[in-house]
Structure 1
Amino acid sequence: MSIHPTAIVHPSAKIHESATIGPFCIVEADVVVGEGTILDSSVVLHSGTILGKNNRIFHGASMGGLPQDLSFKSETKTQLIIGDNNLIREGAIIHRGTKPETPTTIGNNNYLMGNMHLAHDGKIGNHVIVVQNTILAGVVDIGNYVFISGLVAVHQFGRIGDYSMLAGCSKIVKDVPPYVTIDGNPATVIGLNAVGMKRAGIAPEVRNAIKATYKVIYHSGLNTKQALAKLKSENSPIPEVQNIIRFFETSKRGVTDHRQIGSGKDSSDE
């Protein structure tokens, strides 16, 4: 392994032989650093942080610090668990969970840009991009293939559905459903995330089914309960349609309202 002489590494930390610990880094007790992971410089890994393979943590990032929760007892042992192949840029701050059974978790292949913050008990899935200075409050749940632009603020307990896109400076106070684009303060649904779905290889017929599903929810004149009942009665075999139905049914905060979605064009043109 490569550990710079100015780094401070606790003897109980488990550092893979292929990992790199750069200058002025601090690695506390009960930390795990996996194969091929690189800490650039002045990175702090607090107790209870677990890093998987081939991550790179850039200058000044702080991983696994105490939750910003007034009820948290500092002697409670909790964790931040980070998967593989993540890039976490300069000055990012990610706090560990408040309870042993609710670690803060980050999946694989994510790109978290500078000065972003993920608070306690938060979850980020796979292939997520979070742009500069975005704030994700405690107990948020971010799905897969989500794009969160800069200066976005997500309310505590908020859920962000798969393949959604959040425009810059959006204020997120309700759950964001899958496959949509939202914007505003407070944010509203303004369309489908057609570009994101195309890039992810979602087939045109599936994109059209997603569009038709949202037309029932937002434009049929039915309330949400009635719209979901109608969609369930149609028993679509498309997993993405079932994902939308399940998301609405399990929302506790309520789902973001629409401003404009579905203009009669094929979803591939939106």
Structure 2
Amino acid sequence: MAHVSLIHPTAIVDPAAELDSSVSVGPYTVIGPHVKIAAGTTVGPHCVIEGHTTIGSDNRIFQFNSLGAIPQDKKYAGEPCELIIGDRNTIREFCTFNIGSPGDIAKTVVGNDNWIMAYVHLAHDCVVGNNTIFANNAQLAGHVRVDDWVILGGFTVVHQFVRIGAHAMTAMCSLLFADVPPYVMCQGQPAAARSMNFEGLRRRGFGPERIAGVKAMHKALYRDDLTLEQARSRMTELATSQPETAADVAMMQSFLDNVSPQRGIVR
């Protein structure tokens, strides 16, 4: 039986691009010479995938996306920086993911199993973990770090170099100038901490003891008028007295270890 190409005849795929034979490419899409796409990924019509871009397996890339364009950084001078996208991601319409820049890690990275809705922008050197959800028009400036299981509400805007910890969540139209610790729900312009993402944690299998530990960390950080160092001391005591909370406390402490004094955390 003759091989049936999954690349539409109107698509322009550079001969040097490396596409698995199972990759499908829609009409009028343009794919550049340094692009690599693994098995099972589908690329819709009218997309442009360029630069040193590597895309994993079983991704679903909808129409009108721009992936791998040069960073919006005046200092960029043509260096071979990268965009790396993992496996099983859904990328909806009109998203723009730029490659990295030589001023940081030289790559923009998206992990696995992320659900990225329309008009999302990932600037240069952003690093996104796994199992995140970015609602429509979430906008990330350069050098942003987003950990696993984060949910960004629609029209969330993230300032450059901000970090967002695992299981955190933002409300619609949030504006982030400061780091968001793990588990925190925030809202506002600028965003302020409102609660912890308790419902999300329950859906991910957190039991009552772990939920109680997260509540205790929230109380220490935001409710008891403690300094950050006092709050961290109380968390250390929590992990000692309630060993089932130790892993969650350790993740929070590790995040707080790397908070910039200039940027701080959402309060």
- TM-score band (shorter)? over 0.9
Q: CA deviation at 1:14?
A: 0.2
1:185 equivalenced with 2:189 (yes/no) = yes
User: Structure 1 stretch 173-182 or stretch 226-235: which is displaced more?
Assistant: 226-235
**Structure 1: which 5+ residue stretches go unaligned?**
258-270
User: Structure 1 stretch 161-170 or stretch 93-102: which is displaced more?
Assistant: 93-102
Residue pair 2:196, 2:218 contacting (<8 A) in 1 also: no
Alignment of 1:10-21 (within 5 A): 10-21=14-25
1:124 equivalenced with 2:134 (yes/no) = no
Q: Partner of 1:247: helix, strand, or coil?
A: helix
**Structure 2: which 5+ residue stretches go unaligned?**
none
CA distance in 1: counterparts of 2:105 and 2:33, whole angstroms: 20
Residue pair 2:146, 2:163 contacting (<8 A) in 1 also: yes
Q: CA deviation at 1:226?
A: 2.2
Task: Give the residue type in structure 2 aligned to 1:254.
Answer: G
1:77 equivalenced with 2:60 (yes/no) = no
CA deviation vs aligned residue, 1:184-239 (integer Å, no higher than 9, x gap): 11100101111111111111110100111221222333211222133235544421
Task: Give the residue type in structure 1 aligned to 2:90.
Answer: L
CA deviation vs aligned residue, 1:7-40 (integer Å, no higher than 9, x gap): 1111110000110011001000110011000001
CA distance in 2: counterparts of 1:113 and 1:5, whole angstroms: 28
CA distance in 2: counterparts of 1:153 and 1:222, whole angstroms: 29
CA distance in 1: counterparts of 2:63 and 2:130, whole angstroms: 23
Q: Partner of 1:2: helix, strand, or coil?
A: coil
CA distance in 2: counterparts of 1:184 and 1:37, whole angstroms: 37
CA distance in 2: counterparts of 1:12 and 1:112, whole angstroms: 28
Structure 1 partner of 2:264:
254
Alignment of 1:1-270 (within 5 A): 1-74=5-78, 76-99=79-102, 101-236=105-240, 237=243, 238-252=246-260, 253-257=263-267
CA distance in 1: counterparts of 2:57 and 2:201, whole angstroms: 28
CA distance in 2: counterparts of 1:25 and 1:254, whole angstroms: 43
Q: Partner of 1:49: helix, strand, or coil?
A: strand
CA deviation vs aligned residue, 1:152-192 (integer Å, no higher than 9, x gap): 10000011111111000001010011112100111001011
What is the RMSD of the two structures over their aligned residues, measured on CA atoms? Answer: 1.3
CA distance in 1: counterparts of 2:210 and 2:90, whole angstroms: 31
Task: Give the residue type in structure 2 aligned to 1:211.
Answer: K
Percent of aligned pairs with the same amino acid: 37
Structure 2 partner of 1:263:
none
CA deviation vs aligned residue, 1:34-93 (integer Å, no higher than 9, x gap): 10000010111112110000001111000010000111112x001100000000000000
Stretches of 4+ aligned residues off by more than 4 angstroms: none
CA distance in 2: counterparts of 1:27 and 1:126, whole angstroms: 25
Residue pair 2:195, 2:218 contacting (<8 A) in 1 also: no
Q: 1:101 to 1:184 in 2, by over 3 A?
A: closer
Q: Partner of 2:249: helix, strand, or coil?
A: helix
Aligned residue pair count: 256
CA distance in 2: counterparts of 1:22 and 1:145, whole angstroms: 30
CA distance in 2: counterparts of 1:132 and 1:181, whole angstroms: 18
Task: Give the residue type in structure 2 aligned to 1:239.
Answer: A
Task: Give the residue type in structure 1 aligned to 2:195.
Answer: G
Q: 1:101 to 1:221 in 2, by over 3 A?
A: closer
